[in-house]
Structure formats: C-alpha cells, structure tokens
Amino acid sequence: MSSSIRELFIREEKARKQLISPVLLDNGLTPGQGQAGILNNLLKEDHISQKELSVRCHMDTTTMSRAIDNLEKLGLLNREINPESRRSTLICLTEEGRGKALNIRAAFEQLEGILGKNIPREDMETFHRVLMKVCENLEKGILS
C-alpha cells in the first residue's frame, strides 16, 4: 500500500472538513467544536440530559459544557429544569436551533452521498463494519 491508514484518515478528514466547514460557518457555527453533532443529535431526540448528549456525541463533559454554553449564547438551544429531578437540566433546541439543525442534517446527508459515490452498497457495508472495529480498537488502545 502506498499510503498508511493513518495518512488516509488525515486525507479524508481534511477533505471532509473542506466540504462541511462552509455550511457550518453559514449557519453561525464554529467548525471543529462539535456543535453540528450536538444539533444533529438533538434533532434525533430533544430534551435530554447533558450527560446523555455527551455520550451520544462522543464528547467529554467539559468540552460538551463549553459547546452547550456557546450554542445557548447563539440562541440555538436552552437548558430546562428536568421535571423528574429539579437538580438536573435537559438540553433542548430553540426554534432557530431546530432550523439550523435541519440545515446541518441536510448537509450531513449530502456528505454521506458523496462519501459513498461510486462505491457498491456491499463495499460500503463492509467498510462500515471494518471502521467500527477500527474505532473500537482505538478506543481500547494504549500507546506506550
């Protein structure tokens, strides 16, 4: 192989960011801070705890807290008191946030189409399975 897997991941990440960054900026978001993923996940299920949102977005709680603060300042989401436990809050989209999240979702869907262009479905399914294993290996791995 002429390129290492690591080099290919870097190349993929750069190309993906070049495609998606303009959409994020047009929607008032900062690329690389996980804001788009947060909005997209809240479209799937709104009114969830910050901890649950952190798990779904694969973000640590400190990074999530900063991102939520920024999105709240932008008027895209709110924190509401959890009716089941007044000590916790639920994260929910505002109407403006829902509109931006729909824009982001549409861009993500276009990106998925570009990623799979001219690749047979069976190959994409195999790639998905292999990439899941790679992610699991990295999450469990330790560099010495």
Tokens of 134: 């790679």
The per-residue pLDDT for 83 is: 87
- What tens digit of pLDDT does each residue of 103-128 get? 999 999 999 999 999 999 999 999 99
Say if CB 80 and CB 69 are below 8 A apart.
Answer: no
Tokens of 130: 């292999």
Q: What whole-number percentage of the chain has pLDDT above 70?
A: 99
pTM for the full predicted model: 0.84
Query: Which CATH architecture fits 21-118?
Result: Orthogonal Bundle (1.10)
Report CA torsion sign: 76, 80, 84, 85. positive
In the chain, where the domains are located: 21-118
Alpha-helix residue ranges (DSSP H) falling in 74-120: 95-115
Between CA 54 and CA 49 the distance in angstroms is 9
Could you give the angle at which helices 95-115 and 5-26 cross, rounded to 10 degrees? 140
